[in-house]
Amino acid sequence: MTQIAFIGLGHMGLPMARNLLKAGYPLKAFDLVRSAVDTLAGEGALAADSAADAIDQAQVVISMLPASRHVESLYLGEDGLLNRLAAGTLVIECSTIAPESARKVHTAARERGIALLDAPVSGGTGGAAAGTLTFMVGGDAQALEKAQPLLATMGKNIFHAGPDGAGQVAKVCNNQVLAVQMIATAEAMAMGVANGLEPAVLAEIMRQSSGGNWTLEKYNPWPGVMESAPASKGYSGGFMAELMAKDLGLAQETASHNGNSAPMGALALQLYRLLLKQGKGKQDFSVVQQLFV
C-alpha cells in the first residue's frame, strides 16, 4: 500500500492523518510539536524526527501547515523537500496559502518531475475527524486521479478547481464568505438577545429562515446554543481567529490582482485584526461574537 509522509499534525492534520491510518495506509508523521507526533505514533504511525526523515521511502507526501511561509520553507530552497524527493513522488499540499505561493511551489515541483496538487480543505475540525472534508484542488488532472483514493479517505467532496493555484483561489473565496456570514450571525445574535430573545430560539428561527447559513447550521457563535460548537467550549479548538485573519488577507491580495472590489471581505479582515489585537487570535474564529456583547 502507498507509503505516506504526513507533515503538520495540528487541529486539522492530526484527524486527517488518523483517517489514513484507519484505512490501513502506512504513514510516517512529523510535526514541530513532538506530542502530536507521539499521539499519532500511539495509534500506529511511524514517528519522524524531521520532515526529511518523514519522507524517507514515501510515495506520497501530504502537508497541512499554517501559512505560505511554512509551506515555502518546507518545500523550497537548498534544504527544501523538493530537492530530496524522488521524481514521480506525489505531493498533496492541503494548507490554505496564497495562490501565488502555491504556484511557486508547483513550478519548482514540475521542474523536478514531482507531481504536486494544491488541495486546501473546507469542513473544519469536525469534517476532518469524520472524513467528510471538501477538497478544492488545483493542478494536473492526472495527479488528481492518482490522489483520488487518498482524498476520498479524508473527504467527501473533491473538486478539481482548475490549474496550479486554483484550489487556493477557490478556498479564499469560500473563507471570505464564511467570515462575513460568521460576523453577520454574531451581530444578529447579540442584537436579538439584547432585545429579549432566547439565544436558542433566535438561532433556530434564523437557521430555518432566509438568514440561514453554515454558521447557523453547524457553528453557532453564541455559547450554549450548539453543544458541539467551539463557542460552547470557551471558543477552544476549531479554526483559530488568526488563521481566518490570514485567509481574509489572502482574499484581499487575490482581489487586488485584478482590481476587484471586496469591501465585505475588507471589513471582515479589520474586525478580525481587532480580535487579534485583543489577544484572541488563538481562539476559534467564532469568538468574533465577543465584539458585539
Q: Which residues are catalytic?
A: 171
Q: Specify the amino acid at residue 164.
A: D
Question: What is the x/- site pattern for ligand NAD, positions 156-175, by CB under 6 A?
Answer: --------------------
**Pairing between strand 60-63 and 4-7?**
parallel
Check binding of 96 to ligand NAD (CB under 6 A): yes
Residue 86 DSSP one-character state: P
Residues 219-278 that bind ligand NAD (CB under 6 A): 238-239, 243, 247
Considering the complex, state which of residue 89 and residue 95 has its C-beta at the smaller distance from ligand NAD. Answer: 95
- Distance between CA atoms of residues 237 and 96, nearest Å: 18
Count other C-beta atoms under 10 Å from residue 178's C-beta. 22
Q: Which residue is nearest to ligand NAD (CB)?
A: 10
Nearer to ligand NAD (CB atom), residue 31 or residue 190 = 31
SS3 of residue 62 by DSSP: strand
Does 26 engage in binding with ligand NAD (CB under 6 A)? no
Q: Which stretch binds ligand NAD (CB under 6 A): 4-12, 158-166, 207-215, 226-234?
A: 4-12
> Which of positions 37-56 make contact with ligand NAD (CB under 6 A)?
51
Rank residues 10 and 99 by Cβ distance to ligand NAD and give the closer one: 10
- Residue span binding ligand NAD (CB under 6 A) among the ranges 62-70, 77-85, 183-191, 226-234: 62-70
Interface with ligand NAD, residue 64, by CB under 6 A: yes
Q: Out of 4, 10, 29, 101, point to the residue binding ligand NAD (CB under 6 A).
A: 10
Long-range contacts from 13-18, C-beta under 8 angstroms, 24+ separation: 13/64, 13/94, 14/39, 14/40, 15/125, 15/128, 15/129, 16/62, 16/64, 16/94, 16/128, 16/133, 16/154, 17/45, 17/62, 18/43, 18/129
Under the binding rule (CB under 6 A), the answer on residue 7 touching ligand NAD is: yes
Q: Residue 289: which of 177, 188, 174, 175 has the closest Cα?
A: 188
In the bound state with ligand NAD, the residue whose beta carbon lies nearer, of 18 and 190, is: 18
List contacts with ligand NAD (CB under 6 A): 7-13, 30-33, 36, 51, 64-66, 70, 74, 95-96, 121-122, 124-125, 238-239, 243, 247
